[in-house]
Structures are given as structure tokens and as C-alpha cells.
Chains A and B, each alone.
Chain A
Amino acid sequence: MNPFAEYAIAFLLLLGGAFTLIGAIGLARLPDFFTRLHGPTKATTLGVGAIMLSSVIYFTARGDGIGISEVLITVFLFMTAPVSANILAKAAMHIGVKTMDGTEGKPWEQ
């Protein structure tokens, strides 16, 4: 395999792993429910995106053709992450989850 492709794959795998780890740390460390929502929607999305990209490069470099299914997984993930975050936030507002001290503004009642 082309050494340049190998470096790219290794770099992307490390980047993806790091972001997924940081997303998980955020889930454990951030102070309240609403701030925790931010971890999975961002850091983890990029993490999985980077891992998928490395998979695409690996299979392309091996000459198996471009892996369209990986691209599709990424697209589905980018489409569904905001929806699930939105539903979680709505549910939390509905049952009145407490926000951390110092939060500006309030969730509204409907």
C-alpha cells in the first residue's frame, strides 16, 4: 500500500479515536443534562466521520473501489444526530430537568 495512504489512515484513526474519547469524557464531565447533549452531537460526529473516512481511504488504496456504504453511514449519522438531540432536549424540557447554576435564560413552557 502507498505509504502516504497509510499515514493518512493512521492519522484519521487516531483523530477519530481521540474525538470519540473526548465526547465520552464530556458526557461524564459536563455539569447538567443540556450541556451533556453537546458532546454526542459534535465531538462524536466528527470522530465517527474521521474513522469512516479512514475506512474509505483504506479500501480505495487496496483497489476495492470507493466504499460508498461508508459515505452513506456518515450521511445518515449527520442527518440523525441533530434529530435525536432535539428530541432529547424536548423531552428534558417537558419533564423539567434542572439546569446548572449560571445558565442564562430559561427553557419555555408550552
Chain B
Amino acid sequence: MDSAQPHHHHLTADEWDAVAAAPDFQALARAKRSFVTPAIVFFLAFYFAFFAALAWWPEAMVRPVWGNLTLGVALALAQFATTWILLALYLPLARRFDGAAADIVKNVREGGERGAVPPRSSERA
């Protein structure tokens, strides 16, 4: 386990730059960002909106919405729900990112063995 895989600290700065600039890495970084950034903005906005509502509309928060369930309790439980929903949305997406990342690593390793760093086009699954 310890020495099964080689370390890659030996890539030079130029080589790291080349991997970073390659289209497959750019595509991966963009795909990640396009989910993660809106997701973070959304959960923070929802979270702080909830606390703002508690601070400035406390009367509305005790209003029952369903049986004895008040709006405040419903919104608190909704925080749990959105947290788990975002998790459930992210996990399958992240598995796709894993595939793309593994391809990039594989290409760099093969390129490294040939003594060159890959200026390749993307061939992701």
C-alpha cells in the first residue's frame, strides 16, 4: 500500500501549469464550480434568511401551518431537508467528477512515462 503508487512531486512548475491549462482539467474545474458555487450561495442565503425571519418576524414563526407544526419549526426542519437534498444531489455528480479526475491523473502518468506532459484533448467518460 505504502509504495504501490509513485508520488508526483517531481512534476515541474511548467508541467503543473500545462495540466491546469489542459481542456480536460478546465472542463472538470468548470463543471465542479457550476454546481458548488450556486449550491453554497443557495444554502447560505436560505440559512441566513431563516435567521433573519426569526429575528424580525418572530410572530409569524409561531403561526401553525399544519396541525401543531408552526412555521418556525417547519422552516427549521426544512433546513435539515435542504441540507440532505443538496448532499443527495452532490454525491452522484461527484462520482462523475471522480471519473474525470482519474482520467486526468492517468493521462499525466502515461505522459510522464513517455517523458512528456500531455497536451491532449479531452476523452472523458
Q: Do A and B bind each other?
A: no
B residues touching A (Cβ–Cβ < 8 Å)? none
A residues touching B (Cβ–Cβ < 8 Å)? none
